[in-house]
């Protein structure tokens, strides 16, 4: 990776078993000054190459240079953020750009078809094509006491979930993603602190687990476009997050191999839930609506994709999370630490 300031040139290369990426960004102030080229290699013929032009705006004093490409809701969020975040903003400037001398650079991206990149929450080089060929049926047979404890803990959580949501799989998926995005963040945070305490590398596991958390959060950002939570469901998320975050935190402190095994089984349940979701879609019990725009860009789906296509790629993601977490648990079981085995960064 090479980076220099001023004309700000950055070249980064990522290689891994499932993907290979190379892109470069040239940025400065002015109009169009460079291009970002991403080449993402997936298995066999699924190679995709996409090019995004980078525009850089005169940035002094402007935070989030443009909202032209944002949807109505995001524009409103942007407006609120601008007002809330600007210490220098006076009352009559409400809704206007924040003026600042900090010079934080803002770039605007445009897709190769000329349309503007809509999302501030993720960039083109973070997108990927899901590997749908992954084995969905793989299962870790619980043999040890800890494994059985993890397995039955997860199984026992499924019963109240089934009763609460019945066959409302859209809502169920959305609510479960609020939980699924927690383990990666907790594990990544604890490994981060451990790395600091011990003055040692993490083997890439901090990044891998935080990537998982972000990927799960993107599942939530996608499903909230097709299912709107009711007030009592929002309240439930508060409660569940409070309990689950702390419980998982303590579990990870006490036994990372148990914590990763629990997540591995949670992911197996997620695969099951999304398979049921697909069955309901195929039966026509759930309307196969158009895929949300955020999903089309995040998973590089064709423009005419539907909810079914989205559920397929999300399910593939869950299968990858399953593998990563069972693998992490196995590393501990074999008497090693995670840092002893290179982390599957970018494993999609």
- Does the protein bind Fe ion through residue 211 (CB under 5 A)? no
Please identify, using beta-carbon distances, which residue of 286 and 313 lies nearer to Fe ion: 313
> Residue 11 to residues 2, 26, 27, 31, 226: CA-CA distances in angstroms?
5, 9, 12, 20, 37
H or E element in which residue 297 lies: helix 293-298
Record the tokens describing residue 78, joined without a space. Answer: 């942007």
> By CB under 5 A, which span of 14-22, 156-164, 179-187, 274-282 interacts with Fe ion?
179-187
Nearest approach, Cβ of residue 343 and Fe ion (Å):
16
Q: Which two tokens stand for residue 171?
A: 């809502």
Alpha carbons 175 and 170: distance in angstroms, whole number: 9
**Where are any strands of DSSP class E within the chain?**
2-4, 9-15, 20-26, 32-40, 48-56, 107-110
Give the three-class secondary structure for 298. helix
* Cβ distance to Fe ion smaller for residue 211 or 267: 267
Q: Is 180 in the site for Fe ion (CB under 5 A)?
A: yes
Q: Which is nearer to Fe ion, 177 or 309 (CB)?
A: 177
Closer by beta carbon to Fe ion, 300 or else 321: 321
216 near Fe ion (CB under 5 A): yes
CB of 19 to Fe ion, least distance (A): 18
Query: CA torsion angle for 253, 255, 259, 265 (degrees, to 10)?
Result: -170
Structure-token match 């700000």, residue found: 8
* Closer residue to Fe ion (CB): 36 or 182: 182
Q: CB 345 → Fe ion: shortest distance, Å?
A: 16
Write down the least CB distance from residue 32 to Fe ion, Å.
37
Q: Are 209 and 217 in contact (CB under 8 A)?
A: no
Handedness of CA 39, 43, 44, 45 (dihedral sign): negative
Binder of Fe ion out of 298, 318, 325, 346 (CB under 5 A): 318
Per-residue x/- mask for Fe ion, residues 109 to 148, rule CB under 5 A? ----------------------------------------
Q: Which residues contact 220 (CB under 8 A, 6 or more apart)?
A: 174, 177, 178, 181
Cβ closest to Fe ion, residue 261 vs residue 321: 321
Instruction: Write down the least CB distance from residue 207 to Fe ion, Å.
Output: 17
| Residue 315 sits in the site that holds Fe ion (CB under 5 A) | no
DSSP sequence for 21-57: EEEEEE--SSSEEEEEEEEE--SGGG-EEEEEEEEE-
Judged by CB under 5 A, the residue of 315, 321, 332, 339 near Fe ion is 321
Kindly identify the residues of this chain, within the stretch 159-178, that bind Fe ion according to CB under 5 A: 177
Q: Compute the distance between CA of residue 111 and CA of residue 93 in angstroms, rounded to an integer.
A: 32
Which lies closer to Fe ion via its Cβ, residue 221 or residue 331?
A: 221
Report in angstroms the alpha-carbon separations of 31 from 34, 56, 207, 274, 311: 9, 6, 34, 44, 39
CB of 219 to Fe ion, least distance (A): 4
> 257-276 mask for Fe ion (x: CB under 5 A)?
----------x---------
Hey, which residues between 38 and 77 contact Fe ion (CB under 5 A)?
A: none
CB of 78 to Fe ion, least distance (A): 26
Do you know the residue count of the chain?
Answer: 348
* Binding flag, residue 219, Fe ion (CB under 5 A): yes
In whole angstroms, how large is the CA radius of gyration of the chain?
22
| Smallest gap from residue 321 Cβ to Fe ion (A) | 4
Judged by CB under 5 A, the stretch of 26-34, 103-111, 185-193, 313-321 that binds Fe ion is 313-321
- Residue 122 has what DSSP assignment? S
- Give the nearer residue to Fe ion in terms of CB position, either 109 or 185: 185
Nearer to Fe ion, 147 or 318 (CB): 318
| Site of interaction with Fe ion (CB under 5 A) | 177, 180, 216, 219, 267, 318, 321
């Amino acid at each position: 990776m090479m980076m220099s300031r001023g004309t700000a040139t950055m070249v980064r290369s990522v290689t891994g078993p499932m993907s290979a990426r190379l892109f470069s960004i040239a940025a400065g102030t002015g109009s169009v000054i460079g291009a970002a080229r991403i080449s993402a290699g997936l298995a066999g013929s699924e190679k995709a190459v996409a090019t995004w032009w980078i525009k850089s705006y005169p940035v002094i004093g402007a935070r989030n240079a443009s909202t032209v490409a944002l949807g109505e809701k995001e524009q409103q969020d942007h407006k609120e953020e601008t007002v809330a975040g600007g210490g220098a903003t006076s009352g009559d400037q409400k809704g206007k750009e924040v003026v600042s001398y900090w010079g934080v650079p803002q770039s605007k991206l445009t897709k190769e078809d000329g349309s503007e990149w809509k999302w501030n929450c993720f960039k083109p080089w973070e997108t990927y094509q899901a590997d749908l060929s992954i084995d969905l049926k793989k299962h870790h047979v619980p043999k040890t006491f800890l494994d059985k404890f993890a397995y039955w803990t997860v199984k026992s959580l499924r019963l109240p979930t089934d009763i609460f949501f019945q066959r409302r799989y859209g809502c169920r998926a959305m609510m479960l993603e609020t939980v699924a995005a927690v383990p990666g963040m907790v594990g990544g945070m604890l490994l981060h602190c451990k790395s600091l305490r011990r003055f040692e590398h993490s083997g890439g596991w901090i990044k891998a687990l935080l990537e998982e958390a972000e990927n799960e959060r993107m599942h939530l950002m996608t499903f909230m476009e097709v299912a709107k939570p009711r007030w009592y469901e929002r309240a439930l998320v508060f409660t569940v997050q409070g309990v689950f975050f702390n419980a998982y935190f303590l579990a990870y402190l006490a036994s990372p191999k148990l914590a990763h095994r629990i997540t591995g089984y949670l992911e197996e349940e997620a695969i099951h839930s999304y398979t049921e979701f697909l069955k309901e879609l195929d039966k026509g019990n759930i309307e196969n609506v158009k895929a949300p725009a955020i999903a089309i860009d995040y998973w590089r789906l064709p423009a005419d994709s539907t909810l079914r296509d989205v559920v397929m790629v999300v399910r593939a993601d869950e299968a990858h999370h399953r593998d990563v977490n069972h693998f992490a648990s196995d590393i501990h079981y074999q008497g090693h630490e995670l840092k002893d085995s290179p982390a599957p960064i970018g494993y999609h």
